Amino acid sequence: MAQTTSFIISGGGIGGLAAALVLAQDGHAVSVLEQADAFSEIGAGIQLGPNTFRMFDYMGLTEAVNRVAFFPPGLGMNDVRTGEKIVRVKLGDLARATYGFPYGVIYRADLHQLLLQACQTRPGITLRTLAKVESFEQSADGVRVQLAGGESVQGSALIGADGLWSKIREVIVGDGKPRVSGQVAYRAVLRREQVPAHLWNDDVTLWGGEKTHLVHYPLRRGELFNLVAVFHSDKYDEGWNTFGDSAELTERFAQACPQVRELLDKIDTWKMWLLGDREPVKNWTDRRVTLLGDAAHPMLQYLAQGAGQAIEDAVVLREALRFTRGDVPRAFQKYQQARYLRTGRVQLTARFYGDIYHAAGVQRELRNQLFQSGTESAGFAGLKWMYDGIEPSKLFQ
């Protein structure tokens, strides 16, 4: 019988809650420390590939996710200036037939909420707010975490799921501030009745152009319409929930085709966030402390895999603990070894796709030719390595 362990998780976002849930399912005691005054999630919609739906199935969350997700019939890309259709890839039955699982989109807050509810009803999970981790120290058999208010928390292990600006990473990796991409994202959500019929589209649609793109898709079974506009800018705030400058947004998309400009004009208020990532690293573990999600491998949003890779992390971590029968230092090394190349590939490929979406000149022509060629390297099929996902039962044999 594997030894049960007490885990401290710093960060109550999607990755932290996913880790808490799967560890508690195996009988481990888990304390989730969230520095904010409530467990909540900011942001708008996120895309979920078949690899993520495979994880939901493993975690027993498929039914809950399906109740709030939207399943678009296709993925499309158009030229932001000319309106030219560059490529459209069918989803729906094709995704299920190819990977065994669908491609969906979900309101980030809805995904966070269903994970939170699953944790609230699972014995063994303690959820704490206003619990900011200031420091930690290790011993041979445990970790002591110091909170901002002076309290200390003891556990067998610490998981840093505290995001792009991770305090735990500062100690474990020590690679300074995140890499700033020079790009910002403006996000907004409209109600269905606010979107004119001729602009509504059930697909995930991306309008790509020189240093700009707009992506939109429905949320909540088609009740909402999610928009994210990305452009290069030297104006940014190191945050995730500040108000955007509508004048700059209008200026950046001034040469966009009428459909794009009409959509953007429907938004009165935008929230913005800075896009950043880090260089992939091979080691994010120190004995009884490890990292998960954006704390371990932050990535640009161009492959829509941030949440999915964090959830995969949680599953792999659970399987590593099972394989090592609760030997935490060994399990953390196994987990890291199983993850760093896959997540590193996603990090680097996301950067490449950002260049593709924002292409100009010859690069733009090559992109269009590639995507319209129907070859294996174009569109949905070119990411098969990613969407195939992981098979938990075969990770450690």
The set of catalytic residues is: 217
Q: How far apart are CA 346 and CA 336, in angstroms?
A: 15
Q: Which residue has the tokens 């729906």?
A: 92
Cβ-proximal residues to 391 (8 Å cutoff; 6+ apart), any chain: none
Contact 256, 208 (CB under 8 A): no
Residue 233 token pair: 């800018």
Q: How far apart are CA 75 and CA 204, in angstroms?
A: 5
Measured distance CA(366)–CA(382) in Å, rounded: 16
CA distance 189 to 224: 7
Neighbours of 286 (CB within 10 A): 16
d(CA 390, CA 397): 14
**How many other C-beta atoms can be found within 10 angstroms of the C-beta atom of residue 113?**
17
β partners of residue 87: 77
